[in-house]
Structure 1
Amino acid sequence: MVKLLHINASPRGEKSNTERIAGAFVSSLREHHDHVRVDVVDLYNHDLPAIAGDNIEAKYTLMVGRPISKDHAESWAQIERAIEHFLSADAYLLATPMWNFSIPYALKYYIDCIVQPGYVFRYNELGQAVPMVHGKKMIVASSRGGDYSPGSPMNAFDFQEPYLRAIFGFIGITDVEFITAQPMDITPELREEAVAVAVDQAVRLASRPDWAVVTADRLRVNPLGLKPQPLVAEEEEATPAP
């Protein structure tokens, strides 16, 4: 069984053009591969743990290689559950429109939750970042108001695709393919044409036979328990009274 985590970063629900493309991909995937299970995370209807207070202190404790104190452990467990859920998938379908040349705030918040040291990346003895997530693939379904394709005048303003490739490549997910509908905001005719082209691409991509072998690389994924340091500090032994 292959688990696909469908991460929806559009707040428009059924009106979302991005979700039209993602939905076409899922439908085609189920039609051609009966061993695929889809798990959906709607980022606008999903409680994410705070990246502040105890959790920001815990994050910086990990960054400097120290174990998390027991005072922060309960709060940090919420972050761990989000990471564990993300790592439980074999592949990812990320549905995200372009907002202000980049990604919606909900998706950035989600990324900030799951990209944590010791879970999805670590540092080696030279201080270099080493990815810990292997054997995964990602499809990004995207829509843009203008035309940001390579060679276009607006391409220099595309901070969406480079960022997503960089951040997920940083943790080890380098097999990333984009399905992009653009331009969406010029005329209704251009919008429908762009969506139709993207939907066709999504259907063809999902029908490829390589989806049948996604699970072959699952054993390469580091289990959640493998961390460069313990997460919770051991209690210090009480010093006997003189």
Structure 2
Amino acid sequence: MKNILVVKGNNRPASEAVSSKMYETFIENLEGVNVTTFDVFAEDMPYFGQDLFNAFAKTQSGEALTDIEQRILAAKQKAMDAFSAADVVVFAFPLWNLTIPAKLQTFIDYIFQSGFSFKYDENGQLVGLMKDKKAMILSARGGIYSTPETAPMEMAANYIKNVVNFFGMEMIDEIIIEGHNAAPDQAERIIKEGLEKVAEAAKKLSAVPV
């Protein structure tokens, strides 16, 4: 049975946020799989920074850790364990201010570790260590960022795709709902069609073995 990890990157209710509705629709249409949600807004996830590096150093020297250092080590390990256990990782998130929410960035920072998700070989070439895993993107953006003029500004879905590629994972699907705020008269249709694609993707994933 497949193990699916859904990394939920929006804490707004589904009645207000399209990416949250995409998450709910995806979960509702999964069958015959083990699914785990990692809600980055619900988890205790101190931001990546000097506290983590202090914790690494103290762990090596046997020094006592502060509360924040203990918390960030535990949070990082939890994220890595969840990621390791998954056959398929689904990222559900919005475009906020041209990029991903900070809490989702923290999750990425936690798993972006040499020797865990990637390494460099004896020739200095990058080797992704997650080649046995697949990935999927479910994302929403109220504006239109798929035109030649606007695509360079989109740093959410493109960033996640770059991370997935860096780790050596296979991207199996990408569903983007966009333009519902830019074209409010078409919003209902845009969202409905997008959610239908999400439901189809979930059903397909349920039926296809890893």
**TM-score, normalized by length of structure 2?**
0.84
User: Corresponding residue for 1:131?
Assistant: 128
Aligned-pair CA distance for 1:90:
1.1
Larger radius of gyration: 1
User: Corresponding residue for 1:225?
Assistant: none
Deviations 1:60-117 (A, max 9, x none): x8xxxxx944448984752233212211111122110001111111111110011111
Whole-Å separation in 2 of the counterparts to 1:86 and 1:103: 19
C-alpha contact (below 8 Å) 1:54/1:72 kept by paired residues: no
The one-letter code of the counterpart of 1:206 is: A
**CA separation of 1:209 and 1:55: change in aligned 2, threshold 3 A:** closer
Give the alignment's Cα RMSD to 1 decimal: 2.5
Aligned-pair CA distance for 1:176:
4.1
Identity %: 26
User: Corresponding residue for 2:28?
Assistant: 27
**CA separation of 1:68 and 1:204: change in aligned 2, threshold 3 A:** same
**CA separation of 1:205 and 1:143: change in aligned 2, threshold 3 A:** same
Unaligned residue ranges in structure 2 (runs of 5+): none
**CA separation of 1:115 and 1:17: change in aligned 2, threshold 3 A:** same
Unaligned residue ranges in structure 1 (runs of 5+): 62-66, 215-242
C-alpha contact (below 8 Å) 2:11/2:41 kept by paired residues: yes
User: Corresponding residue for 1:13?
Assistant: 13
**CA separation of 1:13 and 1:81: change in aligned 2, threshold 3 A:** same
**TM-score, normalized by length of structure 1?**
0.74
Aligned-pair CA distance for 1:128:
2.2
User: Corresponding residue for 2:186?
Assistant: 190
Aligned-pair CA distance for 1:2:
1.3
Whole-Å separation in 1 of the counterparts to 2:179 and 2:22: 14
User: Corresponding residue for 1:83?
Assistant: 80
User: What SS does the corresponding residue of 2:14 show, helix, strand or coil?
Assistant: helix
Aligned-pair CA distance for 1:44:
1.0
Aligned-pair CA distance for 1:50:
4.8
Deviates more, 1:2-11 or 1:18-27: 18-27
Aligned-pair CA distance for 1:211:
4.5
**CA separation of 1:124 and 1:152: change in aligned 2, threshold 3 A:** closer
User: Corresponding residue for 1:239?
Assistant: none
| Number of positions where the alignment pairs a residue of Structure 1 with one of Structure 2 | 203
Aligned-pair CA distance for 1:210:
7.5
User: What SS does the corresponding residue of 1:213 show, helix, strand or coil?
Assistant: coil
1:99 to 89, 93, 96: 96
2:168 to 167, 172, 183: 172
Whole-Å separation in 2 of the counterparts to 1:93 and 1:209: 11
